[in-house]
Structure 1
C-alpha cells in the first residue's frame, strides 16, 4: 500500500539559510508539524561548490528540523529536484503519485520542482505557510511568497491543478482521512 500522507521538504539546509530567510521559525514549525503527521518524508538537499558540498556543515539540514527515522533523502544539483536525480524513481517505487511540498527557496527550487512535478502528473499540494525565501534586489520575500502562492493557485494544468493550502488545512484533511 502506498503512503497517503507524503511531505517533500526542499533545501532546508544550513548553507541555504546562511542568507536570512523570511519567518524561518514559523516555516520550520509548520514543516515539523507536517513531518510528524506524514506517512513518508522526503528531504531534498542541494549540493554545489561554495558551501553546499555533500557532507559539509552547509549541506546538513537545519538542526531544528524533525527528521523521522525512515525519511528518504535526495541530493540535487539544479533548482529542479527531478533533474538528474533518483526522485522520480523513488516516488514510482513507493507508489507515490501525490505529495505536499514545502521548503526553500520559494522562487527557485520550490517553484521549479512544483512546476516540473505537476507537468509529470503528480498531484501536488503546496503548504502555503511552510515555504520561505530571501529578499531579492527587485522584490521583498513576503511579496515573493504571496505572489508564488497565487501563481500556483492559478497555474494552468488541465486535469491536475496544484492545490495551495495552509498547514492547518492539510493536517485537518489528513486527520479526516
Structure 2
C-alpha cells in the first residue's frame, strides 16, 4: 500500500508572524510546494488570548499560504498539536499514518508535535527547509533550525526514526511512488 502524501503545517498564522521569523517568504514558498502536490493537508492553528483568538485576523493563516479546498484544520492551545485536540482522530479517520511536518516555530510547536507524533507511532518526515522560528535570547533562529534538524535526525524512537529531508527530496520521492 502506498502511503498518502500528507503534510502537516504548524502555526503559519498572521499573529505568530507578528514576531519576526527567519526567511518567512522562503518558508511559505517551500510549504506551498509541498501542499500543492499533497493528497491531504492539515493546518494546525494555535489559539490563545492576546491576538490569536479563533476567528481573529491574528488567528488566520498567512495570506500567501496556499490552502486546498479539502484541507483539514485543527485548533490547538498548547505547543503540542496532539494535546487535547482532534488531531489523532482526524488522522485515523483519513487513514494517515505518515506525514511531512513543516511550519513555525521550530523550537516550540513544530518540535513538540514531532516528538509526540513519533512517540505515538506516526512515520514523520520533517521538511528541513520548510520550518522557521524567531531569534531567541540563547541562539539565533538559523542556529535553532539547524540544531533541531540535527536533533530530529538522531531522535531515538526505536523502530520509528524521524526523517529530515529537503523539500526537493520529499517531492522527488513522492513523484517516484
**Equivalent residue, structure 2, for 1:149:** 149
**Equivalent residue, structure 1, for 2:33:** 33
Map 1:35-114 to 2 at 5 A: 35-114=35-114
1:90 Cα shift? 0.2
Are positions 1:132 and 2:94 aligned together?
no
TM-score, normalised relative to structure 1: 0.98
SS at match of 1:37: coil
Summarize deviations over 1:92-144 as a string: whole Å, max 9, x none. 11110000000000000000000000000000000000000000011000000
Q: Which runs of 5+ in 1 are unaligned?
A: none
CA distance in 2, matches of 1:120, 1:128: 21
1:4 Cα shift? 1.1
CA distance in 1, matches of 2:36, 2:65: 10
Given that 2:9 and 2:42 are in contact with CA atoms closer than 8 Å, whether structure 1 keeps it comes out as yes
Moved over 4 A (4+): none
RMSD, aligned CA: 1.0
Given that 1:30 and 1:167 are in contact with CA atoms closer than 8 Å, whether structure 2 keeps it comes out as yes
CA distance in 2, matches of 1:7, 1:176: 17
